[in-house]
Amino acid sequence: MFRTKRSGLVRRLWRSRAPVEGDGEADRGTHGSSGGCCMGKAAKVAKSNDAGSEAELKALTHSVLKKIKEKQLEVLLQAVESKGGARSPCLLLPSKVDAKVGQQSYSLPMLLYKVFRWPDLRHSSELKRLSCCESYGKINPDLVCCNPHHMSRLCELESPPPPYSRYPMDYLKPPDSPDSGPSSSETGGTTYSAPVGLSDSLALQESGEPAHWCVVAYWEEKTRVGRLYSVQESSLDIFYDLPQGNGFCLGQLCSDNKSQLVQMVRAKIGYGIQLTREPDGVWVYNRSCYPIFIKSATLDNPDSRTLLVHKVFPGFSIKAFDYDKACSLQRPNDHEFTQQPRTGFTVQISFVKGWGQCYTRQFISSCPCWLEVIFNTR
């Protein structure tokens, strides 16, 4: 039988669809190798009961894809096969075309998101458009970007910590030694002690360099690897290996750590994360195949004694830093407070392995590979 190029693209796309729960690849890619109780409720993947049969979904998907232009199919295939690792343009398609899967009707964008990213997706309110989307912030009633890798899922937060874990904001005291490395108190989340070499970043403003909105430090357990990375662009990719990566490449850093666990986690960082500064704060998008773990004072009740460590699954985004909330943590009349790097002005991110009360590692300095993002709020 004669097969057209379009049919070949459609078959390749179907083979590259997102695995459903119960598939070994789905379990590995969604849950990674770490568990924990401090995670967003939206990240707890549940099997969809209304997905319809495999045959029905396949027939519907093929029918929809065969109506799309070949150039657009090539764009979609590039995004899907690279799992978002290759830069791909917007896929503008009609938003009002509905498709029925089982007992549910979905718009064309939702159908493509379900087939190629999240089989358990139920509503567009669970999604957040990424800044890489060219149609970001634009309103077009007829066409909408349907590129599944121009979207992320929103990570819901856990409920506030119980009252017994809270105590006054006086716990935010200046560190005794501003040049010390991570200490048990700092890594526990009660105070912040500036990492060695923080003066490197503070000197940038004095040397006439463009203003940076944050600096990033990469750590392996208690050792910082490489210099601080100063960020001027609104979006930064932090990765170990990315097909078309441009940003902070951890794979290029020389590490003397011989730990097998560190080497294993380094290899699992993969596409890593994306930091994006937006009007409402700084968002972190997990581009890797394994969970990441985040702690930030602006994610929780500021009176909490121990800040929660939030688990963010692959494909999910979380607003890791809120400028308004961070400013409310300051005491305007306390000069020493405003001159010191603060817990409220930093975010700690661990790859693959979590820490805190739900894990065997109590402090982030015990994690194999982690980041410290230090924000410039001046």
Domain limits of the chain? 3-13+55-152, 212-330+339-373
H helix or E strand, kind and range, residue 100? strand 98-101
Q: How far is CA 266 from CA 39, 87, 239, 257, 349, in A?
A: 22, 23, 10, 11, 14
Distance CA 340, CA 186 (A): 14
Sorted by sequence, the CB contacts under 8 Å of residue 280 that are 6+ apart come out as 319, 322
Q: Provide the terminal-to-terminal Cα distance of the chain, rounded to the nearest Å.
A: 67
pLDDT for position 378 = 65
* DSSP code for 158: P
The radius of gyration computed from the CA coordinates of the chain, to the nearest angstrom, equals: 22
Fold annotation for 3-13+55-152:
Smad3; Chain A (3.90.520)
Fold annotation for 212-330+339-373:
Tumour Suppressor Smad4 (2.60.200)
Q: Which pTM does this prediction carry?
A: 0.79
pLDDT for position 56 = 82
Closest CA to 109 of 80, 154, 63, 150: 150
Report the largest interatomic distance among the alpha carbons of the chain, rounded to a whole angstrom: 79
Q: How far is CA 299 from CA 72, 234, 323, in A?
A: 39, 21, 11
Counting as low any pLDDT under 70, the low residues of the chain are 1-3, 21-52, 97, 99-104, 136-141, 158-210, 302-306, 330-344, 377-378
Q: What residue type is assigned to position 290 of the chain?
A: Y
Closest CA to 233 of 250, 224, 246: 246
- Strands 235-239 and 247-249, by their bridges, are parallel
Q: What residue type is assigned to position 183 of the chain?
A: S
pLDDT for position 3 = 65
pLDDT for position 103 = 67
Cβ(20)–Cβ(118) below 8 Å: no
Tokens 């109780």, residue located: 37
Distance CA 312, CA 294 (A): 8
- Strands 316-321 and 151-154, by their bridges, are parallel
Q: How many CB atoms lie within 10 A of CB 39?
A: 24
Q: How many CB atoms lie within 10 A of CB 349?
A: 25
Distance CA 310, CA 160 (A): 12
Cβ(340)–Cβ(348) below 8 Å: no
Distance CA 228, CA 343 (A): 18
Cβ(115)–Cβ(56) below 8 Å: no
Q: What is the CA angle 5-9-12, rounded to 5? A: 140
pLDDT for position 139 = 59
Distance CA 276, CA 280 (A): 11
